[in-house]
Amino acid sequence: MPPQPGATDISVESVTDTTSVVLPDPIETVVNGVGHLPLAIKDIHGHRSRSGPMPSGVAPYVSADMFKSPASFEKPKAKRWDHWISQESSSRTGSSIKKAAKYLKKPGLITLGGGLPSCDYFPFERIDVKVPVAPHFSEQEVLESGIVRTAGKHDIRNGKSLYDLEVCLNYGQATGSAQLIRFVTEHTEIVHKPPYADWWCILTAGSVSALEMCLRMLCTRGDYLLTEEYAFATTLEAAAPLGLRTVGIRMDKEGMLADDLDHVLTGWDELERGRPKPFVLYTVPTGQNPTGATQSCERRQAIYAIAEKHDLCIVEDDPYYFLQMEDYAPGRIHSTAEMERMPHDEYLNTLIPSYLSMDTSGRVIRLDSFSKIIAPGARAGWITGAEQLIERFARHAEVSTQTPSGISQIILYKLLEETWGHDGFLEWLRYIRSEYTRRRDNIVAACENHLPQEIASWNPPMAGMFHWINIKWHKHPKFHKDPSTTNLKKVEESIFQAAIEKGVLCSLGSWFRAQKDTDTEIFLRTTFAAAPLDRIEEAISRLGEALREEFQNGEANGIGQGANGHGS
C-alpha cells in the first residue's frame, strides 16, 4: 500500500479498519499467464466482488488503489517528480492528529479526539432526487419516466445503501468520499487506461479550483507557464497574481503546435528570460476554450514526445472530452436519431486518446469536471495523476477546499452509481455529445448562411462549446495599412460595438490572448452551448449584418451577402 494521502483532523472519527481492505487477488484473474485484461464495463461487477468492502464510516481513509483493477498494478511505476514540486507544496507535512487515526483500529476504542458534530444535529432527514433513466434523457422524458432516488440519514446502518446523509453531511477526507472515488476511478481506468501503475484519482471542488492548486504545487513566483497562444481566460487570471508569466504556443486548427513548443523550449535563453526553461504545460486538448480546436491523436503524440524531451508536466484540462463530435458536413444537421449506436467499448475507441492514456512516465495531471457533463453547480470534478503529485494535492486540499460538498457527492452518487452505472453514464455522455453536435451543426450552418465569408472564416469545431470566427481585419475601412496591435484593438472594439448595436454579444479573441497585446489577428468567440437553437441562428444573422455594416466599403473589398443570401 502506498503512503496514505493524509487523513484530516476529522479522520480521527473514522470507524473503518483500513487493514481489512482486500486488494484484488492477482492470481485468480490472470489471463493466459501474461497478465490481466484491461478493465471494461462488463468486468465491473466481478472486479468489485473481488475487492474489499466499501468503507462505511464517517471520513474513512480511501485510496484509488482500493478500486483499481489488477491490470493496473502490473504496469511500471511513474517517474519521480521531486524536482517539480514547489517550496510551498513540498513543505506540507502531515499532522499529529491525522496520524492518530491509526489507533481507531483498536477494537472498542472510544474516541474523544476529532471535533466532528454528531449527526443528531444535521437538520435533514432525507434528500430525494428525480433523475432520468437511461436512455430517456430529455426533459420531457424525465418528467414521464424519471425515477426518484432517496438518500436517508441512516441508510448505511439500515442496509439500504452504501452511502447516506450521516456520512455525506459530516466532514470527509480530502480525497472525496470512497463511494464516489470508486466510480471515478473505475471510469478513468475504463476510458483512459493509464499506462503506469501508481496513478490516483481524487475528487476536486471543480477544475478551476484544482488548476489553481496545481499551479501552486508546481510553480513559483516569476516562473513561466506554457499555454496555447489563446487560452482559457480564468487560467490566465489565476496564474498572473501568482507572479507567473505566460508563454503562448502558436496554434493551428488542431490547436497547439508541437513544433512551436519545441522551438520555444529549445531556444529558451535563461539569461534573457531571467528564469529557467518552463516545465508546466497547460493545455485544453479537446474543444479548446476559446478556439474550439481539438488536438488530433498525432498532434497529442507529438506534443507528448516534446514533453518527454524537455521534461514537461502536462496539465490536461479536459472538461469537453466527451463532447467530441463527428465531422461537420455542410448542409447536414445531425439529429439524435441519426447518431450511430455502436457498443460502448467500440465508441470509446472512436474518441481521441487523452494525454493520460499515453502517459508512460506519469507526467500528466488530468483534470476532469462534472461541470460540462452533469452540472456546473455541483462544483465537483476529479484529478488523476501520479500518486506522488496527487498526494501533494490532497495535502493542500486538507487545509483549503477539503472536499467537494457532500450534498453534491451524494446527489452524484445517486445518479451515477445507483441509477445509471457506468453503462448509463456513457449512454448519457453520448446523448449530450449528440445534442452538442446538433448545436454545433446549427451554428456553423447559420454562419454559412448569414456571415460574409469574404471577411469571416472558421473551422467547424470538433468538440466542446465554442465556435471561433476569424475576421479578416485588413479589409476593414479603419485598417489603413496599419497592422499594429493598437490599431487592431480599435477595429476589434468597433466590431464588438457594432454587434452589440445589432443585438448580439460575442467575446473578443484578444481577451484570451496569453501574451497580452501581441494580437495580429481578430477573432470572435461564440458559444453554441447556451442559447436556444433559433436564437443562435438569429444572433448569427445579426452578427452578419453588423459585420457587413462595419466593413461598409464592402463592395470595394468584395463583401456581399452570405452564401445563401440570407444576411441582409
Contacts with a copy of itself in 241-300 (CB under 8 A)?
241-243, 289
- Interacting stretch for a copy of itself, rule CB under 8 A, among 64-72, 96-104, 305-313, 360-368? 96-104
- Interacting stretch for a copy of itself, rule CB under 8 A, among 62-70, 114-122, 180-188, 559-567? 114-122
353 DSSP 8-state letter: P
Report the alpha-carbon distance of residue 355 to residue 192 in Å, rounded. 9
Report the alpha-carbon distance of residue 510 to residue 519 in Å, rounded. 7
Q: How far is the CB of 498 from a copy of itself (least distance, A)?
A: 12
Q: How far is the CB of 432 from a copy of itself (least distance, A)?
A: 5
The β-bridge partners of 455 are: none
Which bin fits 274, alpha (ψ -120 to 50), beta or left (φ > 0)? left
Q: How far is the CB of 49 from a copy of itself (least distance, A)?
A: 28
Contacts 24+ apart (CB under 8 A), 81-87: 81/313, 81/362, 81/363, 81/386, 81/388, 81/389, 82/388, 84/218, 84/279, 84/313, 84/389, 85/217, 85/218, 85/389, 85/392, 86/216, 86/217, 86/218, 86/219, 86/220, 87/220
Closer residue to a copy of itself in complex, CB, 1/240: 240
Closer residue to a copy of itself in complex, CB, 104/426: 104
Q: Kindly state whether residue 336 participates in binding a copy of itself, applying the rule CB under 8 A.
A: no
Q: How far is the CB of 137 from a copy of itself (least distance, A)?
A: 7
- Interacting stretch for a copy of itself, rule CB under 8 A, among 310-318, 358-366, 396-404, 544-552? 396-404
Taking CB under 8 A as the rule, which mask of x and - marks residues 42-81 in contact with a copy of itself? ----------------------------------------
As given in the structure block, the three cell numbers for residue 81 are 517528480
CA 511, 514, 517, 520 torsion: positive or negative? negative
Site for a copy of itself in 150-209 (CB under 8 A): 153, 168-172, 205-206, 208-209
As given in the structure block, the three cell numbers for residue 99 are 496520524
Site for a copy of itself in 295-334 (CB under 8 A): none
- Interacting stretch for a copy of itself, rule CB under 8 A, among 6-14, 69-77, 248-256, 306-314? 6-14
Q: Kindly state whether residue 350 participates in binding a copy of itself, applying the rule CB under 8 A.
A: no
Question: Are 533 and 435 a contacting pair, CB within 8 Å?
Answer: no
Q: Kindly state whether residue 23 participates in binding a copy of itself, applying the rule CB under 8 A.
A: no
Report the alpha-carbon distance of residue 482 to residue 551 in Å, rounded. 16
Q: How far is the CB of 558 from a copy of itself (least distance, A)?
A: 26
Q: Kindly state whether residue 15 participates in binding a copy of itself, applying the rule CB under 8 A.
A: no
Q: How far is the CB of 190 from a copy of itself (least distance, A)?
A: 20
* Neighbour-count burial for 138-176, b at 16+ CB within 10 Å, e otherwise: eeeeeeeebeebebbbebbeeeebbbbbbbbbbbbbbbb
As given in the structure block, the three cell numbers for residue 287 are 474543444
Cα three-residue angle 490-528-299, rounded to 5 degrees: 85
Q: Kindly state whether residue 218 participates in binding a copy of itself, applying the rule CB under 8 A.
A: no
Say how many residues touch a copy of itself, by CB under 8 A: 122
Instruction: Tell which one of 22, 240, 342, 556 touches a copy of itself (CB under 8 A).
Output: 240
Site for a copy of itself in 487-546 (CB under 8 A): 500, 503-508, 510-511, 525-532, 535-536, 538-540, 542
**H-helix segments, 360-420:** 387-398, 406-415
Closer residue to a copy of itself in complex, CB, 139/327: 139
- Interacting stretch for a copy of itself, rule CB under 8 A, among 73-81, 359-367, 376-384, 547-555? 376-384
Q: Kindly state whether residue 87 participates in binding a copy of itself, applying the rule CB under 8 A.
A: yes
Q: Kindly state whether residue 13 participates in binding a copy of itself, applying the rule CB under 8 A.
A: yes
Of 332, 356, 226, 204, the C-alpha closest to 280 is 226
Report the alpha-carbon distance of residue 541 to residue 336 in Å, rounded. 25
Instruction: Tell which one of 399, 517, 549, 558 touches a copy of itself (CB under 8 A).
Output: 399
Q: Kindly state whether residue 567 participates in binding a copy of itself, applying the rule CB under 8 A.
A: no
485 by DSSP, 3-state: which? helix
